[in-house]
Chains A and B, each alone.
Chain A
């Protein structure tokens, strides 16, 4: 049971992620874009963040950079959800400090594996 923040602009995907995570027993915060995502992350300090990459206003890279820039949120593990399968995009995310990435469309099993990795105690 952990606090998990989902930042995703696509409402159906966001609600499906919430459903699944709640079924797994986690408490879920939702944010419909990067800007709100940073606010919620700063306020709630979740144990893990699932973040879409391509979003209007502020994309996933921007969110990650902003979170890494403030001490309170710098250490929160972040997993990218990406509709892009391009290697450069993924490499850049990892370089910026993302823990892992999950490409869309994703399977629930694949998501669960990534979560396990993210929530493993250090």
Chain B
């Protein structure tokens, strides 16, 4: 094995060593510049070393390659050191150190420098001694070194592998060679059998220390993937990069691993090379395996015993002494199950054994080979056909045992038998066929089967060579038919027709004939005819079509719709059915019934419900919405039953009745009930609301009154005043609620009056604001009210009372639900045909999901919190607006405010002049409270 670093000592030039010490050169300025340029632009660099300090690199490289600088700093060049510096081959160092000590210069000292990042650099140093140290020129030869090594590895590997046939022999040499050539530090190999990774045992590898566990794991993976791979383990001690080369396969193979401490040496060419090494190893390994196997048996034995076809058994004393696997498997056994068993085990019966032994002895005695086709019994009792030959081991002597060769011929026998049966059957079929079959050449019958003869009432002797024209009713018919037949057959087509033909006794009957030519190009070779007596069918058809016509008339004239469907396609409908759905009969017939269903889904669902019942033979009754041709739904009661429940392909009969009116009446009733239920709920909500809303102010009134009566003399004046005020406001609240309840009650009973009159808006709002001021006087925070009226001159012709309800409620709400004050803006606009009232607050707003129910009686959004209310105000607004024929709209944003817009229609402007009212001011008045 080569030195661990793989350097050749010859790297040191002995020629240079012999040179005399160079005198200090005198450099001119130009030369000095040149030297400067050389160090600045060349690949080489200068270096210097002083004892006790690190190797220093000079020139461009010193700036550009800090890794090299760091790596070089580890190198000591003291010539008197006991050992060679790390990274330099000892032999090379011995030579160089000798030169240095003698004051001579040295050339091409190769050093291996580990970089801080794990990379390995190779440098070549040349230099000489100066003033206690050395200096000289260096060059980084890493790339060249790698290329050289690669080249050498491939060559050496090929050389080694060529020398050995067996991988067992080649592997250690290969490992040693490659390990020595490249910068590998370690090498291992594993064997693998049956997917199990074995140790390196059996492989003569020099390195015996255990491989890192991570590497072993990766080797196992590599063997499974069968691809060479780089593995890196930076946590390993020492850290390493490994090249894993698998060979063989997981059942029988292995892997070789080379590790290096150069953590960057992942060269793709090396990987490609590893792949070809692996392939070679695989081939060598397989060859070796086969050789080993063959070595254990003789060629002859192997050839016979491995025969995959013939079963071989060795018999002695009527017992199986040895059988090959094929023999055993033929009968469903394993070889060891048969050995020691009597021959009776596989024989069909005792007689078969006796017969066999008799025949076998006879053959042996005459010196013949015994040969037979016979049946034997398998392990599962099934008989199989075998072909056997047998011979005694000693000529003509059965006592020394016999050898039996057996072939399974069951398949062949079965094939033969079916062939025989088929041939025999053909004649039987032709003769006994329910179809008449005839072979005709020219217009002469050459052969006709029994059925054919019976059909026409001929005896066998009547027919042979009889003239075809005899079976036609008239000669004229024969001539025209025969011409058509010949034309059709000559064109290569089958002639197929229902013909009225004549029996021997002269009676006429219907026959379906179909004929084809043996060879259409040459009709003289004959024609083959199939004949069916369809007389009965013909008569039946005629009868059927008559009765169908009668039934059709009946079905057409019924008042129920009837349809006959097969596989959900309409085969027939009566007129009534078509009329009910607005189609013509032609539009429905031969179409999917889907066309009179409103959707694919409805059609599907109908089928899913109906057909299981039909299959069970039950009549099926369903209410179904069909779709009229004009798109509307027609509710029908459909009643269906299968023609034959066991065979739905025969179709189903449906009768339908229009029940749209009945459905509508039912629906009306349902809605009335729902309405009633809703009213009941409303009533109960009303009772519980009134109970709470009346009892609460009553509690205030009663407790205030009692306090005044019993303790009035003890209470200060302002408290007494407050109690009185509470009584007043409680009473006010109750009467207001009573008013609202009464209004709603009247509105619900349609007894709310509606009569319009011109309204002075300024005066109206002045009064409304006064009322609100009293109503909310106890409230701490009241929003500012801003009113914007249209220019005076045009009166609003509306119902004053209802308008009061509308605006009182909207403004009360705006004030109530603005707990932080802000401004409530009221804008009134009068247009040609409508009055617009807009009330916008900056209050708590209404949740979007509640806006839809806002105008329902007693409905209050959940964000009202402590603010009291009846849930009637907006219901009243809605009623009052509706009575005007107007609209009310809401826009709201939670926490930002709410805007109600009421639009009330005004009577035509023609009445304007007479309704004009005197106005106090010309400017639109702005009021506030």
Q: Which residues of A contact B (CB under 8 A)?
A: 9-10, 12-13, 15-17, 19-20, 23, 32-33, 54, 56-57, 81, 83-86, 103-108
Contacts and interface: CB of A to CB of B under 8 A. Distances in A.
Interface string B672-712: 00000000000000001001100110111111101100110
B352 interface: no
Nearest to A23: B711
Contacts of B868: 10
Interface string B715-744: 100010011001001100000000000000
Contacts of A108: 703, 706-707, 710
22 contacts: A12-B704, A12-B726, A15-B722, A16-B700, A16-B703, A16-B704, A16-B723, A16-B726, A19-B715, A23-B711, A32-B866, A81-B699, A84-B688, A84-B695, A85-B695, A104-B696, A105-B695, A105-B701, A106-B699, A107-B702, A107-B706, A108-B707
A106 B691 contact: no
B691 to A, nearest CB: 6
Contacts of B714: 23
A19 B707 CA distance: 8
A107 B703 CA distance: 7
B691 A12 contact: no
Contacts of A9: 866
Contact of A83 (B692, B702, B711): B692
Contacts of B864: 56
A83 B695 CA distance: 5
A33 B866 CA distance: 8
B865 interface: yes
Interface residues of B, number: 28
A83 B699 contact: yes
A108 B865 CA distance: 28
B703 A10 contact: no
Contacts of B723: 16
A104 B701 CA distance: 11
A84 B692 contact: yes
A12 B71 CA distance: 94
B700 A13 contact: yes
Given A13-B703, A20-B707, A108-B706, A84 B691 contact: yes
Contact of A13 (B699, B719, B866): B699
9 nearest A-B residue pairs (beta carbon): A104-B699, A83-B695, A105-B698, A105-B702, A16-B703, A105-B699, A12-B700, A104-B695, A83-B692
Given A13-B699, A56-B864, A106-B703, A19 B691 contact: no
A108 B723 CA distance: 15
A103 B703 contact: no
Given A12-B730, A16-B707, A83-B692, A57 B865 contact: yes
A59 to B, nearest CB: 12
Contacts of B696: 10, 13, 83, 104
Given A104-B695, A108-B706, 16 more contacts: A12-B729, A13-B703, A16-B700, A16-B726, A20-B711, A23-B711, A32-B866, A54-B692, A83-B696, A83-B699, A86-B688, A104-B699, A105-B695, A105-B703, A107-B706, A108-B710
Interface string B861-874: 00011101000000
Nearest to B688: A84
Contacts of A17: 703
A98 B688 CA distance: 22
Chain B CB within 10 Å — which of A85, A105, A106 has the most? A105
Contacts of A83: 691-692, 695-696, 699
